[in-house]
A and B are shown apart, each in its own frame.
Chain A
Amino acid sequence: EAQVTQNPRYLITVTGKKLTVTCSQNMNHEYMSWYRQDPGLGLRQIYYSMNVEVTDKGDVPEGYKVSRKEKRNFPLILESPSPNQTSLYFCASSTYRNNQPQHFGDGTRLSIL
């Protein structure tokens, strides 16, 4: 089954404690991205990657890091989380051709206390 898998689905942690949210896709997609979803703001892109070892900033990259060492994986790293990063996060992937929709994971709800 084609899917994008995120882990963990839920996490409550404290300010400053480094955390990683993993994302894996089994569709051999070149393009992967991370979004955060906040009430009234829709989804905003954090980072994206067009292929292995190629990453770039989205609209709201501050406080986040990513890496793309393998095609299937695209982890999101919060080196020093802060309360304003409390949000619902989505990973997505697609082929990098125009008009192609993205496939989304089920989301990770992060609470930073």
Chain B
Amino acid sequence: AQSVTQLDSHVSVSEGTPVLLRCNYSSSYSPSLFWYVQHPNKGLQLLLKYTSAATLVKGINGFEAEFKKSETSFHLTKPSAHMSDAAEYFCVVKGGNLIFGKGTKLSVKP
């Protein structure tokens, strides 16, 4: 069975500092992995996806994620946080259907 675990329910950073949102996955075969972002009162928007082509995946708005099979991790990073990055982020694994993590709320302090 496939699953994802987001290790932090809430992360707070200062504007201009790096962002790290952690995700571990479990899959019996090579997974497809995604990160989505949800801004308040909006639907989910795809940030990036991993589909086995390259382990370092670049997404929109300066985000990237690295697939590490040995650690079963797919952490999301950004070098410098902006106020507009404040949102909830979901790590997702796809087998047949999508399986969502419980989300990490990112707060950005001025």
Contact = CB atoms under 8 A, between A and B. Distances in A.
A and B form one complex: yes
A96 to B, nearest CB: 10
Per DSSP, are chain B's interface residues mostly helix, strand or loop, or mixed? Answer: strand
Contact of B44 (A48, A58, A99, A104): A104
A105 to B, nearest CB: 5
Interface of A: 4, 33, 35, 40-45, 48, 58, 90, 92, 98-99, 101-102, 104-107
30 contacts: A4-B43, A33-B97, A33-B98, A40-B102, A41-B102, A42-B100, A42-B101, A42-B103, A43-B44, A43-B90, A43-B100, A45-B97, A45-B98, A48-B97, A99-B32, A99-B49, A99-B51, A99-B94, A101-B49, A102-B98, A104-B36, A104-B43, A104-B45, A105-B43, A106-B41, A106-B42, A106-B43, A107-B41, A107-B42, A107-B43
